[in-house]
Amino acid sequence: MSEHTQYAAFKGRMLILGFGSIGQGSLPLLMRHVNIAPGQITIVSAHDSGRDIAERYGVRFINEPVTRDNYSTIYGRHLARGDFLVNASVDVGSVDSIEWCQRRGVLYLDACIEPWAGGHTDMSIDVSRRTNYAHRERALALRSDDPAAPTAVVMHGANPGLVSHFVKQALLELAAESGFAAQPRPERREQWAALAQRLGIRTIQVSERDHQTTDRRKAPDEFCNTWSSDAFAGESLQPAEMGWGTHERHFPHDARRFDFGCGSSIFLDRTGCTTRVRSWAPQAGPFHGYLISHGEAHSIADFLSVRDGTTVRYRPTCYYAYHPCADAVASLEQFVESHYRLQPVQRLLRDELTGGVDELGVLLCGHPRGAYWYGSQLSVAQARKLAPYNNATGTQVNIGFVGAIIWAIRNPTAGIVEPEQVDDRLLMEIATPYLGRLGGNFTDWTPLVHRGELFPEDIDRDDPWQFKNFRITT
């Protein structure tokens, strides 16, 4: 398919909520791949940033913060049955927004499930209820038996989002390598889970190493990042969370189980920005990433669970291992050192970037060939040629975001769905032209490589894929 193919037509009104890195980078892709007139779109944002971009595309831009007190009024002003709320905001409650849309026949999409402002750090709420696991459970609890319920795609950008489709592609390629690809392609959840179990997948890391660089180094009062600094700081304050695999035999000393929901996951009594894990990517090789809380850790682990009644027979461990670009690492470390006080200036690293690649993929571990990384290696230069107002990170996120919009328009009565329920073949068709080098790499790396020669450690040498071997203890 051409990168300028229009995949869907939309006749209703569309309200884009928030216009930061996702909104600004997604608008050109939306206008390119969806048959929609500028007059059908309204942007409502708490900040004036990007107004010039909206005006360049002929889209109405309103500077108005959306809060718990006024969201229903604002939505009602711009949306009715058959319209679309595209939530690209930070600090606007996703669950309340989903519920509003479900009751009124409005389509919905977000890139992650956000609480209202302050929700990540509200100490009056038990820590287990401030996790992405809890946000996911609240969103899925809104599902109804109505076969014509309006589509609400939750958590669909790059990760969460595209990485769930990367997992499926990686499973298919591993099956082909293992010699039993002649079986029918999995379609239902149970079939994908059975395939992962048969392949022996023990751990799935969403493995991202951002190599993008800039000549303008961060200042002491800045938080710099290649995507939203506010969103990154917020999610880094959540506890480190992960889907917990059935192969694990060393329960972390500082971990807790959830006493509600599907039971797929655990969390640590530590923030994600103070928890590090070992990972691997093709260009980077071995690297240390932050175990940042993300929704895909729960949705993928739950999706790939093999159950016998209420007993889980198989589940992989799943979590996000993230090494941001150098200035974002420095920003995050300063944020932690100042007792989680966000720097007064936030700078999006986009137009000033001088080079580098963002490696975003999934690392499937434990099968007979060791580990297999499948994903996107996209450079800044490639991203700039593909779409305006994007860097490599933004392009990976925004094409997944727009792909989910297209799928929702084509499937308007699917109810509340996660990335795993979205058609991976359509999403990969839309996204592939924007992902640079897309493919897989086998590696003989394990988290035990070069361990113990200098300093003896408490590690499990019998099974390299135990979480205790990935975790970096301090």
- Is the CB of residue 98 less than 8 Å from the CB of residue 26? no
| Average pLDDT over every residue of 302-326 | 97
CA–CA separation, 458 and 456 (whole Å):
7
> Which pLDDT band holds residue 455 (cuts at 50, 70, 90)?
low
Give CA–CA dist 118/234, Å, rounded.
9
User: In whole angstroms, how far apart are CA 307 and each of 189, 193, 303?
Assistant: 11, 9, 11
Is 326 inside any structural domain? yes
Domain interval for residue 249 = 162-390+434-472
Q: What is the dihedral of CA 377, 381, 383, 389, to 10 degrees?
A: 140
The pLDDT, as a whole number, for residue 245 is 98
Q: Please state the φ and ψ torsions of residue 412, each to the nearest 5 degrees.
A: -80, -5
Closest CA to 117 of 138, 99, 101, 96: 96
Longest Cα separation, the chain? 65
**What CATH number is associated with residue 103?**
3.40.50.720
pLDDT at 202 over 90: yes
Rounded Cα distance, 267 and 312, in Å: 19
CATH number at residue 332: 3.30.360.30
**Exposed, middle or buried: residue 84 (CB in 10 Å: 0-12, 13-18, 19+)?**
buried
pLDDT in tens, 349-385: 999 999 999 999 999 999 999 999 999 999 999 999 9
Does pLDDT of 316 surpass 90? yes
Residue 129 CB contacts under 8 Å (≥ 6 apart), including other chains: none
Best CA proximity match to 323, nearest among 198, 206, 179, 440:
206
138 and 189 inside one domain: no
Is 169 in the same domain as 113?
no
Strand 370-379 vs strand 357-367: parallel, antiparallel, or unpaired?
antiparallel
Same domain, 208 and 333: yes
> Are both 123 and 201 inside the same structural domain?
no
Number of compact structural domains in the chain:
2
pLDDT value for 421? 98
Residue 232 main-chain phi, psi, to 5 deg: -65, -45
**307-316 average pLDDT score:** 96
- Classify 335 as helix, strand or coil: helix
Among all chains, which residue has been given the structure tokens 């989680």? 340
Mean residue pLDDT of the chain comes to 95
Residue 453 confidence class, pLDDT cut points 50, 70, 90: low
Query: Same domain, yes or no, for 114 and 191?
Result: no
pLDDT of residue 466: 98
> Phi and psi (nearest 5°) for 201?
-70, 125
Residues 117, 261, single domain; the answer is no
Confidence category of residue 456, pLDDT binned at 50, 70, 90: low
Query: Would you state the pLDDT for residue 394?
Result: 98
168 and 128, same structural domain?
A: no
Average pLDDT rounded to a whole number, residues 437-460: 86
Nearest-angstrom CA–CA distance, 46 and 48: 7
Is the per-residue pLDDT at 1 higher than 80? Answer: no
The residue assigned the tokens 């694990």 is 248
How does pLDDT run across 234-289, given as a tens digit for each residue?
999 999 999 999 999 999 999 999 999 999 999 999 999 999 999 999 999 999 99
What does DSSP say about strands 437-443 and 416-417: parallel, antiparallel, or unpaired?
unpaired
349 and 439 belong to one structural domain: yes
- 172 CB-contact burial (10 Å; exposed 0-12 / middle 13-18 / buried 19+): middle
Using pLDDT thresholds of 50, 70 and 90, give the confidence band for residue 3: low
Q: Is 17 exposed, middle or buried (0-12, 13-18, 19+ CB in 10 A)?
A: buried
